[in-house]
Structure 1
Amino acid sequence: MVAKGLITGVSLVLALLVFSAAGVGTASAQAPGLKKGFYKKSCPRAEDIAREVVWARVAGNRELAAKFLRMFFHDCFVRGCDASVLLDSPTNTAEKNAPPNLSLAGFDVIDEVKAALERACPGVVSCADIVALAARDSVSFQYKRNLWEVETGRRDGTVSSDQEALADIPAPTSTFDILLSNFSSKGLGLQDLVVLSGAHTIGVGNCNLFSSRLFNFTGKNNPSDIDPALNPSYARFLQGQCRRNLQDPNDNTTVVPMDPGSSLSFDNHYFVNLKAHQGMFTSDATLLTNGRAANIVDKLQDPGVFFDAFKNSIKRMGQIGMLTSANGQIRKKCNVVN
């Protein structure tokens, strides 16, 4: 996922027992408190209104799909899927002010969806559900049909911490064990880790998040020294794109498509690239260092298998740490607590 910036050391035993039996494409159960069509009676056109706003904006900016998918991921991995990533803080201590979230975008569209829903059904639809719907609808735009089902009924959180975001969002430099531990701590398994990494089939990556793989990789003052896990021709392409980082390692403006030639199309091409050792981040390449993960990568090179697996894994992700029923609130504005 377009996640940048994702860490805790937690025992993997329970999670692996739960998920190791699940094959690619296994369906997940409905989470308590969430259901399909939650707003059918309280706001019958809720999902239609959200989709209409999102599709209108994505039609003019196809890059929004990657941005909303990443926003959903970063929201769910910190305090669960409670829209805490949307909250502002006058002292810059909210999640959106943490380094991994500084490049998030699309907040204005979320506000536009919320305003439209407040006009139609005041105080009914949560910002947390809007984030989940925006991720689905923006990615589905190119296919003009829903790629996965979004169960709704989430409520909004009232706490947002930049330090929690910094600790919980997996980093692009993470090793396999760190990534698996992080996903396990959220109730997700090996399959979900590999499948959700496929979100990197859309969007861009900042050079400063992977240029250490391109220049002087072993620290022997050899600028052409690259990570041997990278395909040499792909590494040369990235070096050309990220040359500026040789002079300014902190440059955070130079970006490269994560799936060159197909960075606006949501498909399974990420896994084809990965098998060719063209994964941009360390967190991508590390998936091939584990035999079970590599086997899943092989299976996901089939488009049908990927789409089926992705809809199940993102559904599980959308169930992390939910607030439902009497917990949380329905914010009137998504960036502030009521």
Structure 2
Amino acid sequence: MAMERRATAALSVFAAVAGMLLHAAVAADAQNLVFGYYNQTCRAAESIVFDEVQKAWNADRSMPASLLRLHFHDCFVNGCDGSVLLEASDGQAEKNASPNLSLRGFEVVDRIKARLEATCRQTVSCADILAYAARDSVRVMTGGYEYAVPGGRPDGTVSRASMTGDLPPPRQRNVDLLAQYFARKGLSMDDMVVLSGAHTLGVAKCGTFAYRLTSDGDKCMSAAFRNDLRRQCNYKSDAVVALDAGSPYGFDTSYYGNVLANCTVLESDAALNSPKTLQLVTQLRDSKALFINRFATAMVRMGNLRGGNPGKVRDNCRRVRT
């Protein structure tokens, strides 16, 4: 117990220091994003988002992973502009693209937006809701770790399925090629390793990785783990398995242990067991405080990616205001 208290205290200090570092680092290059952006115009904005995320987590322990994924998929396509939430009359919006068909959490965003519109009409952007909800997903999963997220992202006006080619593919084992997707967004290979840690949460459909189970030739997957996946999937493409079998609902470092043990579901995760990323993967595996600090920094950096088609704050996150 004493050791746990010391670890908790150390993590709290780490969090406080991280918050100060984040504020100093991000304020200089956030490109008009501002901490406490809604302090004057909608003081309850961030608390409303957190309240709804907490309710969603209480109802469904897998929802934080989905909200994190929504923010990631939004930012990697034309910047963090909320365009992943839009719907198109021809059914060809971003959310209709193959990589996005398994996205969840839209109803949670709708509930947050409805409360914000009732409190501060046409003030809080859908893009900012996604950024705050992603941060609060980490907060509920860690029991209180909170990091500062700047606001002021304008909502986008364009959302097309054809624009999703910038999303990193799960079927990519070459770490250099995978890192290129992040480099095009101004993110480093280290950012890629840290952001991939979000896969300590969430699930994958067996059909996504079934090709890795058809033979014993995949040297990037341990034989015992492959056999376990075969048992769980049982030839059902719609069956789901945890991305982190060790702790599917814990925001911890077991994901990195899985990487080093060749026990990852997706090839893009297996790619991190590479000489170029091995040192950081090992460091993150061995320190939860380091992982959470680095994850917060990388999330804020990713959240600064700007959209190219800014519009008005939407009163409904599923449609463009006219």
For this structure pair, what is the TM-score category when the shorter chain's length is used for normalisation?
A: 0.7 to 0.9
Matches within 5 A, 1:27-42: 28-30=25-27, 31-42=30-41
Matches within 5 A, 1:92-103: 92-103=91-102
2:103 alignment counterpart: 104
1:295 alignment counterpart: 279
2:249 alignment counterpart: 264
Q: How far apart are the structure 1 equivalents of 2:277 and 2:235? A: 34
- Displacement of 1:214 in angstroms is 1.4
Matches within 5 A, 1:116-135: 116-135=115-134
Q: 1:206 to 1:196 in 2, by over 3 A?
A: same
* Partner residue of 2:297 out of 266, 290, 312: 312
| 1:328 equivalent in alignment to 2:319 | no
- Displacement of 1:314 in angstroms is 0.7
Q: How far apart are the structure 2 equivalents of 1:50 and 1:198? A: 23
Q: How far apart are the structure 2 equivalents of 1:144 and 1:45? A: 21
Q: How far apart are the structure 1 equivalents of 2:169 and 2:217? A: 20
For 1:88, the aligned partner's letter is: E
Higher RCO structure, 1 or 2 (CA under 8 Å, sep 6+)? 1
1:136 alignment counterpart: 135
- Displacement of 1:322 in angstroms is 4.3
For 1:111, the aligned partner's letter is: D
Q: 3-state SS of the aligned residue for 1:244?
A: coil
For 2:192, the aligned partner's letter is: L
Q: Deviations over 1:297-336 (max 9, x none)?
A: 0111111111111011111110112479xx4220010000
TM norm structure 1: 0.84
Percentage identity across paired residues of the two chains: 41
Is the helix fraction higher in 1 or 2?
Answer: 2
* Partner residue of 1:169 out of 156, 162, 167: 167
Q: 3-state SS of the aligned residue for 1:44?
A: coil
Moved more, 260-269 or 120-129: 260-269
Contact 2:220 2:262 in 1 (8 A): yes
Gap runs ≥5 in structure 1: 1-25, 217-224, 246-250
For 1:295, the aligned partner's letter is: Q
Contact 1:214 1:226 in 2 (8 A): no
For 1:138, the aligned partner's letter is: S
1:276 alignment counterpart: 261
Q: Deviations over 1:235-277 (max 9, x none)?
A: 11111112315xxxxx3x1110111141011111100111111
Matches within 5 A, 1:185-200: 185-200=184-199
Q: 3-state SS of the aligned residue for 1:256?
A: strand
Q: How far apart are the structure 1 equivalents of 2:61 and 2:131? A: 18
For 2:227, the aligned partner's letter is: R
Q: How far apart are the structure 1 equivalents of 2:299 and 2:34? A: 15
Contact 1:67 1:104 in 2 (8 A): yes
2:5 alignment counterpart: none
Q: How far apart are the structure 2 equivalents of 1:212 and 1:29? A: 41
Contact 1:203 1:263 in 2 (8 A): yes
Gap runs ≥5 in structure 2: 1-20
Q: How far apart are the structure 2 equivalents of 1:226 and 1:254? A: 23
- Displacement of 1:148 in angstroms is 2.5
Q: 3-state SS of the aligned residue for 1:79?
A: coil
- Displacement of 1:138 in angstroms is 2.2
Q: How far apart are the structure 2 equivalents of 1:199 and 1:283? A: 13
Contact 1:126 1:155 in 2 (8 A): yes
Q: 1:68 to 1:265 in 2, by over 3 A?
A: same
For 1:182, the aligned partner's letter is: Y
Q: 3-state SS of the aligned residue for 2:273?
A: helix
2:87 alignment counterpart: 88
Q: How far apart are the structure 2 equivalents of 1:263 and 1:226? A: 27
Moved more, 179-188 or 315-324: 315-324
- Displacement of 1:288 in angstroms is 1.5
For 1:284, the aligned partner's letter is: D
- Displacement of 1:36 in angstroms is 1.2
Q: How far apart are the structure 2 equivalents of 1:142 and 1:69? A: 12
Q: How far apart are the structure 2 equivalents of 1:79 and 1:47? A: 24
Q: How far apart are the structure 2 equivalents of 1:267 and 1:140? A: 12
CA RMSD, 1 decimal = 1.6
Q: Deviations over 1:265-296 (max 9, x none)?
A: 1111100111111121110111122x231111
Q: How far apart are the structure 2 equivalents of 1:143 and 1:194? A: 20
- Displacement of 1:95 in angstroms is 0.1
